[in-house]
Amino acid sequence: MKDNTPRVTSLKSYLQHLPQDASHAIVSTNFAPYLISYLGFSTTEIIPQYDTGGGGITDFATRRNLENDIFLQTKSNPFLLIELKDRYTNLTENSPGYKATVNQLKRQLLGTKCKAAQWGIITNGSHIQLFRKHGKIIFPATTCIAITPENIDETVARIKTKIDNTPKALTVTVYNNKGGVGKTTTTINLAAILAFLGKKVLVLDFDFNQRDLTSSLLNINPEDGLLEKALTDRNIDLKSVIRPYIYIFQTKKLKITFDVVPADPKMAEYPEFQYNSQMKIFTLHRKLDLARYEYDYIFIDAAPNWRFPSQLAVYAADVVLLPTKHNNSFSLNNAATAIKEFLPQMQNFKKDGTPIALPIFFNGEKITQPQLQLAQKEIDQILENDKNLVPYFYPRYTNAKKDLHIHHLPEYAIIASAAFARVPAVYKNRSAHEYYKDLAKEYFLQ
Ligand SMILES: Nc1ncnc2c1ncn2[C@@H]1O[C@H](COP(=O)(O)OP(=O)(O)OP(=O)(O)O)[C@@H](O)[C@H]1O
Ligand SMILES: [Mg+2]
C-alpha cells in the first residue's frame, strides 16, 4: 500500500495554535498527529488507542510498514508508543503527574503485545520526553524538555534522529564504590550467561589496577598501552582492542563466545591529571558508538573508587548495576551515594537522562531472617533521608503493596573457584548457571 500523505516539516505553528488549556482530546487531534507525521510515520503506520496487552491502552502506537505487513492491518509489534496528557497535567520532571505518566508508559511498554517496542514518548504539548526500551529495561533517551514554538522543531528533530538510528545494545556498568561486593564476578557471569542464551556480548575490564576480569578468562591477557592508544587516538577504533573469549562445551559440541576488552596495565599508572589532559569524560562513550550497533549487551566492570576511569565507565552506561552485600552497611550506603551523587554528576554532563541506576541486589552471602531484618533496618535509615531512593532498593514497593523484595544471588563456592580455572562459573556448574540466569531474567530479559 503506497502512502502519499505529505509529511509535516514544521511543528511551530501547530504548537503556537495549541490552546494553553488544551484538553486531552485537543492535544490528541491538534498536536499529536502532526508530531507523529514529523517523526516520519504515515497514516497506515499509526494506530490510535492501541491495546498494549495487559499494560493498558496507549494513545498512539506506530511502526514502519514492512512489505507485506501494514501496521494498521496487522496491528503487530509496535515500535513506538505515545502517551498523551492534557496541558493541565504538570509534566515537569519529578512532579507527581510526571512520575505517574512515566509509570503508565512503562506499564504499556511492558505489555505483552509490545515485546518488540523500542521507544516511548510522553507529551502534553508543553513537555516532551523520549524513553528507550531494551528487554525489560526502560530508561530515558532525553531529559523531559519544556517545548516552545521556538525549540519544538529542533527538539523533535533530535528525537527523530534517535529513533531512526535505534542502537542494538544496552550498556551496563557494574559499579559500587565498596570493594569486594562481586562486581567482577557479576560482570563475567552475566556476560557469559547472556552469550549462552544467544546474545552478542562485549565486556570491558575497566579496573586497570586489579585486572580481575582479565585474569578470570582463559587466553585473555592484559595488553600494555593498547586500550590507552584506542582511547586517545581518534584514528584507532576500539575494535583493535577486542579479543574473543571462546568456551567449548565438549559434550554438546557447542561453542560459545563473547568479546572482551582486556585491562590495560599502563592506564593503572596514569596520575589523575594525565587522564584529564588525555581524555574527556565522554571518550569511552564515543568510542563505543559503533559497538552499540553491533552488540546486544555491553558490560563494563568498574573499579571500587570514583576516579576518572570509573567516571568514564559510568558516563558510558545506559544503566548502572550495583551489587551490594546485605551484611555490609558500607556497600548499601555507597550504593545510595552512587545513585544520589555520582550518577547525577554524569547525567549533568550527558544531558540525555542517563545513566540511571538499576535496583540493588544482594550478592553472595547466606541471609538468615534476622540478618535480613538488620539489612532492612539499614535500608530504612537510608530511605528515611531520601524517599526518592525507594525504587532502587525495593523495586516492587508501591503504596498499595509494601513489597520489600530485593533480588539475592546466593553464595556458592564454585563461583569463586571458577575464577581460578579462568572459566565463567555459569559454564562449569548447573546451579551457578541457574543463579545467573535468574539474575539476567530479573533485570534484563523480557
Ligand atoms: N555469589 C558468589 N558466591 C561465592 N563467591 C563469590 C560470589 N560472588 C563473588 N564471590 C567471590 O567474592 C570475591 C569478591 O568478588 P569480586 O572480585 O567479583 O568483587 P569486586 O566487587 O569485583 O571486587 P573489587 O572491588 O576488588 O573489584 C571473589 O573472591 C569472588 O570469587
Ligand atoms: Mg572487581
* Distance (Å) from CA 187 to ligand 2 centroid: 9
State which H helix or E strand residue 370 sits in.
helix 369-385
For residue 6, the model assigns a pLDDT of: 78
Beta strand pairing call for 57-62 and 46-51: antiparallel
For residue 365, the model assigns a pLDDT of: 84
Which phi and psi angles does 171 have, rounded to 5°?
-100, 120
Residue nearest to atom 11 of ligand 1 (CA): 416
Cis check: omega of the bond before 355, within 30 degrees of 0: yes
pLDDT profile of the chain (446 residues), mean per 10 = 74 97 98 98 97 98 96 97 97 95 98 98 98 98 98 98 98 97 98 98 98 98 96 96 96 93 96 90 98 98 97 98 95 97 98 98 93 96 95 95 96 92 96 98 97
For residue 4, the model assigns a pLDDT of: 63
**CA-CA distances (angstroms) from residue 369 to 62, 366, 374, 376?**
48, 10, 9, 11
For residue 252, the model assigns a pLDDT of: 77
List CB contacts of 379: < 8 A, sequence separation 6 or more. 332, 393, 394
* Distance (Å) from CA 183 to ligand 2 centroid: 5
pTM of the model: 0.97
For residue 265, the model assigns a pLDDT of: 97
Residue 178 CA, closest ligand 1 atom number? 25
Residue nearest to atom 16 of ligand 1 (CA): 182
Ligand 1 pocket by Cβ (under 6 Å): 179-185, 207, 210, 212, 304, 363-364, 409, 411-412, 415-416, 419
Residue 411 CA, closest ligand 1 atom number? 3
Residue nearest to atom 30 of ligand 1 (CA): 416
- Ligand whose nearest atom lies closest to the CA of 179: 1
- Ligand whose nearest atom lies closest to the CA of 409: 1
For residue 253, the model assigns a pLDDT of: 87
* CA separation for the pair 392, 412 (Å, rounded): 25
> The cell 573469549 sits on which residue?
245
* Distance (Å) from CA 182 to ligand 1 centroid: 4
